[in-house]
Amino acid sequence: MSPAVAATASAIAASAVVSIHDLQHIQTDNSAPAEWKISALYTYPVKSCQPAALQESQVAATGLAYDRLWMLTDARSGRFVTQRQVSKLALVKVTINEADDTLGLSTEAMPTTLRLPLHPQLGRDLGEQFKVRVWYDDVFGRCCGKQANDWLTEFVGRPIRLLYKDPAAQRLVSRYLPAKEVCPEPPQSGFADVFPFHITTDVSLCDVNKHVPRPLEHRNFRPNIVLSAVDPDTLPYDEETWRRIEFSDDCGGRYWSMFVTSRTPRCTMPNVELETGAMSADREPMESLRKFRCVDPGKPTYVCFGMQAAPQRIGQTVRVGQSVFVRERGFHSLTESL
C-alpha cells in the first residue's frame, strides 16, 4: 500500500464515517488489473440449508440460479428461521434436479426426501401470501403447501411454514448502491440478508485459518462466488479494497461488471459445526475472529469476512475457471447497518 493510500485509510478510520457518494468515486490503484479465477460457485436455494455447488450459472436479478428463493418461517410468530435459531438446518442437503424440475431436501434424521417443484407456479404450487421481515426489509413469500410444512415441522420440532419468494413482488436493495448512472438497474435479492452476491477468496480464508482453533471452509461463510488469486503473492483481504470487478466471457474478451458494495458483517452462523449441525460450545470461530476481523471503520465492533456485491446487468454467465479482473479500488465503510 502506498503512503498516500495508507494516510487516506488512517483518516477514514479516524472519522469512522464516510459518505457513500465519496466511496463510490475513490480509486486507489491505476496499475494493471489483478487477475483472479473463480474456484467455486454456490447457490443456497433454501435459506440456511446446505448449498448446492454449481459449475456455471446465469446471473439472475436475485443472484445465482435459485439462490435463497425458499425460506423457513415460524408458523406462529411469522419470523424467518435460520441456523441461528435451528443450527441443525446445516444438515439439510438440498439437491437441484433440473431434469425432472424438482428441488430435493433430505437429511439422515428424516425417512423421506421432500420434493418441491423447482419452478413453482402461482395458483398451482404456491398458496397464501405472507409478509416477512428479513432484517430491514419486508419481503413477500408464498406458502409452499402442507407437505413441505409438515416435513419441516417434523424435522425442526415446531410449526414451520416454508415460503417461496413471491414472483410478483420485487425486493430492491436500497443501501450501499453504486450511482444510478453506473448501475442503472437497481439490484434485487430474494430471501438473502441484503445483496444478491457474496464473495470470498481463498487467500483470505487461508489467513483466517491461521488465527482460529479449528480449520474453516468457505461454506462456513456461505459465499456465492469463491475466487483464487492468480498472483501467488496476493495479500489476504485484498478484496476489501475492490469497488468494481470484471468477468471475462468465454473467449476471454468482452467483460461485464459487478460492483463490490461493502464488507459482510458476520452473525453467529460460522459457529455452527457443519458435520454435526450443532453450535460450537466454545463460541468459535467468532470469539477468535472478533480479535482481528473487526476492521470496518464505520462499524468497528462488527466482525467482517467476505464482500457483498451487485451485478451491473443480469443475464450474463459465471462459471468455475472464469477470469475476474479488479478494475477499480477504493475504501469501504459501513455507515449504516446492512
Read off the pLDDT band of 176 (50, 70, 90).
confident
pLDDT at residue number 280: 97
pLDDT at residue number 30: 53
| Tens of pLDDT, residues 30-59 | 567 899 999 999 999 999 999 999 999 999
How far apart are the C-alpha atoms of 319 and 247, rounded to whole Å?
10
How far apart are the C-alpha atoms of 77 and 187, rounded to whole Å?
29
Return the DSSP state at 207: H
Helix, strand, or coil (residue 151): helix
Radius of gyration of the chain (CA): 20
| Tens of pLDDT, residues 226-284 | 999 999 999 999 999 999 999 997 655 568 899 999 999 999 999 999 999 999 999 99
Show me where the domains of the chain are located.
Answer: 3-329
pTM recorded for the entire structure:
0.89
How far apart are the C-alpha atoms of 309 and 196, rounded to whole Å?
7
Per the CB < 8 A criterion, the answer to whether 204 and 228 are in contact is: no
Other Cβ atoms closer than 10 A to 301: 8
DSSP letters for 72-115: EEETTT--EE-TTT-GGGGG-EEEEETTTTEEEEE-TTSSS-EE
Indicate the CATH number for domain 3-329: 2.40.33.20
Query: Which cell numbers hold the place of 246?
Result: 470484471
